[in-house]
Amino acid sequence: MSLRDRLVGRIAAHGPLTVADYMDACLHDPRDGYYATRPALGEGGDFLTAPHTSQMFGELIGLWAAETWTRMGGPPRFALVELGPGDGTLMSDILRAGRAAPGFNEAAQVWLVETSDPLRALQAARLGDRPRWADELGEVPRDAPVILAANEFLDCLPIRQAVSTPEGWRERRVGVDENGALRFEVGPPLPPLLGRVGPEGRGGAVWNDGRIGGHPGAPHPDGFAVCPSPGGEGGVVEFSPGLEAFGREVAGLLEEATGAALFIDYGRSAAGYGDTLQALRGHAKEGPLENPGSADLTAWVDFPAFLDAAAAPDSPILSQGVFLRRLGIEMRAAALAAAHPEQAGKIMRQLERLIGVDQMGELFKVVALGSPGVPLAGFEAA
């Protein structure tokens, strides 16, 4: 039975699904989930990521990791962790660039946090038997410092959505229409605090009566402008308990083990409205309900909410373009082009793809978390 048919059966038996439960089933269902069965990265697949765009991306992340290790005093043993390592390209570029710091590679115990069996096989083919694999970050030992990197991992964490109705905010759910097709439906009212979305700066919470302002955990604010229907009736606000729980987990890991973590993804650097759930198949966007399990399903990362949860609300949110330029990507591109003049045009196009404001440079953001006393390269006050 197809995943769609099983989901229709599940909805008939237990009622509509939250968007988070739907995402989780589409990505991770053990039999038919996208990552469990047919993750297709790269040119011939469904989507192309920065490590596939150019080796420069992973090399600079590798230099960031090596610099972080040096700043930590060069511990003789540490866990070099990647979350959601795809086909292993990023980790292999990191390890190659890491040779620039003598001792870094020898000290690194490589951990790959990966749920997908087919991707684990690709990672092993590229990286050999050096890495250890874990299903979850919690399995990485905490008895040594940690340096962690993740590209396009946070966008896979399931989000929930709220939709604005004349009666207030309701959960947006996935149900079934009279013809047996999946559709979005308006679900039950949501608890008073929906999430950290609002027009003012990075903060702002949306309350079930449409008020915007204040902070999560604070009492219901009075005196904020009433905005019953941001974006009009049907306006969507997203929130992600999973992302926030993960932020708390990373912060806990860094507190116990010490170290630093780098996250690169597309998403928001300020609060905002809108439905960002997106399905990609064969490099083309399609409706998120069209092909459950055979399209990649992601959502924009709410970076302010992530940083708040990680107890680092004031950490900078850099654009990928700014971050990579601070690490010296333009010099790296010039050096590569000088060494391979016949490929100079291609290298410059790849550079533009990674840092151009109308390409990946602005949409993709970079945040870093570190334990006290570990200054994070690229994040020094400008």
Q: Choose between 84 and 267: whose C-beta lies nearer to ligand SAH.
A: 84
- Extract the runs of DSSP E, i.e. beta strands, from the chain: 17-18, 78-83, 108-113, 132-134, 146-151, 160-165, 168-176, 182-189, 193-195, 206-207, 236-239, 259-268, 278-281, 284-286, 296-298, 301-302, 318-319, 364-370
Residue of the chain from 68, 92, 151, 276 that contacts ligand SAH (CB under 6 A): 151
Residue of the chain from 54, 116, 276, 315 that contacts ligand SAH (CB under 6 A): 116
Cα–Cα dist 108/77, whole Å: 6
Contacts of 243 (CB under 8 A, 6+ apart): 154, 157, 159, 301, 302, 305, 306, 309
CB of 38 to ligand SAH, least distance (A): 11
CB of 137 to ligand SAH, least distance (A): 8
Give the bridge partners for 165, in sequence order.
Answer: 168
- To which H or E segment does residue 58 belong? helix 55-71
67 is a contact residue toward ligand SAH (CB under 6 A): no
Cα–Cα dist 108/79, whole Å: 6
Cα–Cα dist 157/153, whole Å: 7
Nearest position to ligand SAH, beta carbon: 84
24 is a contact residue toward ligand SAH (CB under 6 A): no
49 is a contact residue toward ligand SAH (CB under 6 A): yes
Cα–Cα dist 48/209, whole Å: 41
Residue of the chain from 93, 152, 244, 275 that contacts ligand SAH (CB under 6 A): 152
CB of 89 to ligand SAH, least distance (A): 6
CB of 28 to ligand SAH, least distance (A): 7
Cα–Cα dist 80/333, whole Å: 26
Q: Choose between 116 and 371: whose C-beta lies nearer to ligand SAH.
A: 116
Q: How many residues bind ligand SAH (CB under 6 A)?
A: 18
Q: Choose between 90 and 260: whose C-beta lies nearer to ligand SAH.
A: 90
288 is a contact residue toward ligand SAH (CB under 6 A): no
Q: Choose between 41 and 97: whose C-beta lies nearer to ligand SAH.
A: 41
Q: Which residues bind ligand SAH (CB under 6 A)?
A: 35, 39, 41, 49, 51, 84-86, 90, 113-116, 119, 151-153, 156
